[in-house]
Amino acid sequence: MAVAVITTMERMARWEPGARERLGAAALELYAARGFEQTTATDIAQSVGLTERTFFRYFADKREVLFGGQEVLQKIVVEAIASAPSESSTIETAMFALEALAEFFPDEQRAQSRLRQTVIVANPGLQERELLKLAALAQRIAGALVERGVVETHATLAAETGVAVFGVAFRQWISDEEARSFDEIQRDVFATLRLVTQA
């Protein structure tokens, strides 16, 4: 009998509709309010009426709430580069990847991205993780460019430059009172990059 009850509870937890999204949103709120270190998985789960066990069904650990999208981002850039027109220049191809990334940050996402940034800025360990995430993204872009036959030096410069554009655009996108779309900001930053590097 006890076994049957646990099984039913597990099923409910497993199929809880929208549990991942609710847990993720609750985690960001708690990390921002109390600090990342001070928040436990139990706190997060309980705040949305779920168990710690359910939390760990969706996230390997507390950090994954903040960095779980990394593989998806990498996959998007690699696919975008592979499908860029063959006549594109190296930097145009890198920009294809960034435009594909921009779709990952629609306006509806902006409030959550702001909250996430608050959490990361407050914690040096998370800041390091964020820098390493961007470095890994640049390496994936460079690798995908090399796959297309781009010389390694050119690929690395285009990739790191592209990720610098992405990073500056991202910080602008989540800044107070910024209303332009991610894509629009990123195009502006790219134009600025061309100006700066030619001056």
Residues that bind its own copies (CB under 8 A): 89-92, 128, 131-132, 135, 153-154, 156-158, 160-161, 164-165, 167-168, 172, 189, 192-194, 196-199
Closest CB 166 distance from its own copies, rounded Å: 11
Considering the complex, what minimum distance in angstroms separates the CB of residue 152 from its own copies?
9
Least Å from the CB of residue 21 to its own copies? 30
Element (H, E) at 4: helix 2-15
Q: How far is the CB of 43 from its own copies (least distance, A)?
A: 29
Rounded CA gap, 88 and 26, in Å?
43
**Residue 75 and residue 14: Cα distance in Å, rounded?**
26
Q: Which is nearer to its own copies, 32 or 136 (CB)?
A: 136
**Residue 37 to residues 30, 60, 90: CA-CA distances in angstroms?**
10, 16, 42
Residue 19 or 155: the one with the smaller Cβ distance to its own copies is: 155
CA distances in angstroms from 196 to 27, 51, 115, 134, 163, listed in the order given: 39, 52, 31, 22, 16
Distance of closest approach, residue 137 Cβ to its own copies, in angstroms = 12
Q: Which residue pairs from 146-155 have beta carbons closer than 8 angstroms and sit at least 24 positions apart in sequence?
A: 147/81, 147/82, 148/81, 148/82, 148/84, 148/93, 150/90, 150/93, 154/90, 155/90
